[in-house]
Amino acid sequence: MSKQPQNPQSQRKMMLAMLLVGVFLFIWDMGIRHFYPNADKPKPVASATPTPAATVKPTREGGLETVGDRLVEAQDLKTQLTRPRVAIVAPGLVGSINLAGGVVDDLSLPGYKETIDKNSPDVRLYSPAGTPAQHFAQVGWVNAPAGIALPDGNTVWTAPAGAKLTPTTPVTLSWANTTGQTFTLTYAIDKDYMITVTQKLANAGSAPLKVQPFALINRTSKTASQDAWNLHSGPIANLDESVNFGPSYDCAHSFFLVHCTNLQKAGQIDNEGTPQWLGFTDIYWMSVLAPANPQGATSDFRSLGNDLYRADVVYPAQTIAPGSAQSTTTRIIAGAKDNAILDKYEAQGINKFSYSIDWGWFWFFEKPIFALLRTLFHLVGNFGVAIMLLTAIVRGIMFPVAQRGFASMAAMRAIQPKVKALQERYKDDRAKLQEETMKLYKEEKVNPLAGCLPMFLQIPVFFALYKVLMVSIGMRHQPFVLWIRDLSAPDPLHILNLFGLLPFTPPSFLGIGILALILGFTMWLQFKLQPAATDPAQQQMMSIMPWMMMFIMAPFASGLLIYWITSNLLTVAQQKYLYSKHPGMRAAVEKEREVVARAAKSKK
């Protein structure tokens, strides 16, 4: 028996659908290569030659990306850190203050490692000037009258013998010029990431002295993390109690260039408003200045060339009478973007400091979710399990809405014969058909939009959970079970290279891991419980969707896939439960699927 030729219209739809899938996967691969630029690259050959930032795409972690830069950095640190310094030893920060210039240019975070290897070095945030990872904070004075020497970057300050900066032992550096002025820098540090520096000028001269105190942060963009449309990396400021994420360093790696303000191209951007705090942020780390008294201060961001950038705070001019002294206090906060610590500093008076995390539009929803996630993690001790519990709690809260929506859908299915009868009766009178249909809905107490409500509510919920997992440093380097040793990284095992046994790395959109495969399967299970689309071609496209999502989500963080898998399984359980409560709905769905399947066969 010969087969009947397929319907030409159906063939065209399927060919178009497959073409769109191919184009989508190609574009998706380009996007993944943008956001995960080093995923498919072999390890670079060691070379002790610095690499310009413009030639290396940054990653989520940030830091020096080439072996050459790391070798030069290590060599430079051996030289720089042997010079006269005051040690910094605190639970949150370790490093030193350079007596040449009185600069804080050596800071590492003992609570965070560069990689998941237990022998990995601590994350280094500050490095001295001239090193590939240059990043430091400095305070001083400018605009003195002619003939009055001010300390600068080459000034060698004097420190007490054996001085060490700890949370219980502040350190004061001093320097005096030849005209009767004595300058001091008093550094204090807390147990986390705040260094408070008080710069004081005592005038023992015979005439009043007018100067302007300043503070700055200088850094290279070579160590910056990825700057994306939903996660900013670059200059950040709270101006007039409004937190601004921007501009970007050079826009070279910004995904949406049209929205990018290019600091490198502008050269200097003067900030409008009172600087509550400002500096530079990465996805996980930040380095900012917070004036103790910002009134009258001005600020700006500057591009200095050679991938170097600066954030400046310039205080109002001070007139210091003979025999008197004046001081200015600036807080330097350099460390991890730990929400609990940021909240603490905000409670201490640093305005809106918790908003230095780029929460986005749904901040009012994301912050409570984050607090709940953190509480669950402290209770169970496993971040992956905490994600699963959080997903279950959120779905449980939304279950009554889903139940009402499902009941509404069941009611809509029940009155479909009456709706079709009205459509047949008033097929030539649209106005009358609409009037009678609405009358029927009212009589049957059915809301046609109620079934869509759970879906619309899940959109902000999913985005909020996604954003929480993306910005949460708590998920960084957290293991789950078995091979998942870092929930903030993609699944490391790929099926196509037999989990690393074959010597090749698949392209990013083919790098399907175990979690991505489970995600596709759970989405397929969820799809099997959904009502069928009336158009066979549309139904076939919907059947492909779970496996498309498997490819799409494969390169994302493992923690996000665990959330989605858990959500899918809970949805399947919810659907089965609701079908048990509405058996007529289940029968209607199965009947519709049979009708669609027969229609698809009849077109062959």
Q: Are 519 and 561 in contact (CB under 8 A)?
A: yes
Q: How far is CA 401 from CA 362, 390, 396, 450, 455, in A?
A: 20, 18, 10, 9, 10
How much is the pLDDT for 55?
Answer: 61
Decide yes or no: CATH 1.10.357.10 for domain 67-353.
no
How much is the pLDDT for 362?
Answer: 74
- At residue 34 the predicted structure's pLDDT band, cuts being 50, 70 and 90, is very low
Mean pLDDT, all residues of the chain: 83
User: What strands lie across the sheet with 181-189, from one edge to the other?
Assistant: 171-176, 181-189, 194-203, 324-336, 285-291, 275-281, 234-239, 242-245
Looking at residues 230-237, what average pLDDT do you find?
90
How much is the pLDDT for 37?
Answer: 42
Contacts of residue 553, defined as CB under 8 A and 6 or more positions apart, other chains included, come to 516, 519, 560, 561, 564
- Whether 534 shows a pLDDT value over 90: the answer reads no
Regarding predicted confidence, which is higher, 358 or 301? 301
**In this predicted model, what pLDDT tens digit does every residue of 444-458 receive, in sequence order?**
777 776 666 666 766
How much is the pLDDT for 5?
Answer: 43
**In this predicted model, what pLDDT tens digit does every residue of 144-199 receive, in sequence order?**
999 999 999 999 999 999 999 999 999 999 999 999 999 999 999 999 999 999 99
Q: How far is CA 17 from CA 174, 359, 388, 546, 552, in A?
A: 73, 36, 34, 15, 17
Looking at residues 456-467, what average pLDDT do you find?
74
Q: In angstroms, how far is CA 100 from the centroid of its own chain?
A: 36
How much is the pLDDT for 504?
Answer: 63
> Tokens 């495969």 belong to which residue?
517
- Whether 143 shows a pLDDT value over 90: the answer reads yes
Instruction: Tell me how far apart the alpha carbons of residues 228 and 410 are, in angstroms, rounded to a whole number.
Output: 43
How much is the pLDDT for 555?
Answer: 82
Least confident of 115-119, 294-298, 380-384, 573-577: 573-577
Instruction: Tell me how far apart the alpha carbons of residues 504 and 255 are, in angstroms, rounded to a whole number.
Output: 28
**In this predicted model, what pLDDT tens digit does every residue of 467-521 receive, in sequence order?**
888 888 888 999 998 888 999 888 888 777 666 666 666 665 566 888 988 999 9
- At residue 432 the predicted structure's pLDDT band, cuts being 50, 70 and 90, is confident
Looking at residues 318-323, what average pLDDT do you find?
96
Burial per residue of 91-108, b for 16 or more beta-carbon CB atoms within 10 angstroms, e otherwise: ebbebbbbbbbbbbbbbb
How much is the pLDDT for 538?
Answer: 61
Regarding predicted confidence, which is higher, 584 or 480? 480
Instruction: Tell me how far apart the alpha carbons of residues 545 and 530 are, in angstroms, rounded to a whole number.
Output: 13
**In this predicted model, what pLDDT tens digit does every residue of 374-410 receive, in sequence order?**
999 999 999 999 999 998 998 888 777 777 776 777 7
How much is the pLDDT for 2?
Answer: 41
| Domain definitions of the chain by residue range | 67-353, 370-602
Contacts of residue 172, defined as CB under 8 A and 6 or more positions apart, other chains included, come to 159, 160, 184, 185, 186, 187
Least confident of 212-216, 276-280, 404-408, 476-480: 404-408
- What pairs with residue 328 in β-bridges? 199
How much is the pLDDT for 3?
Answer: 43
Contacts of residue 88, defined as CB under 8 A and 6 or more positions apart, other chains included, come to 94, 95, 96, 97, 104, 106, 107, 164, 165, 166, 189, 195
Least confident of 319-323, 341-345, 587-591: 587-591
**In this predicted model, what pLDDT tens digit does every residue of 82-133 receive, in sequence order?**
999 999 999 999 999 999 999 999 999 999 999 888 889 999 999 999 999 9
How much is the pLDDT for 51?
Answer: 61
Q: Which amino acid is at 183?
A: F
Structure tokens at 297: 């201060």
How much is the pLDDT for 252?
Answer: 64
Helix, strand, coil tally for the chain in percent (to 5): 40, 25, 35
Q: In angstroms, how far is CA 27 from the centroid of its own chain?
A: 22
- Whether 269 shows a pLDDT value over 90: the answer reads yes
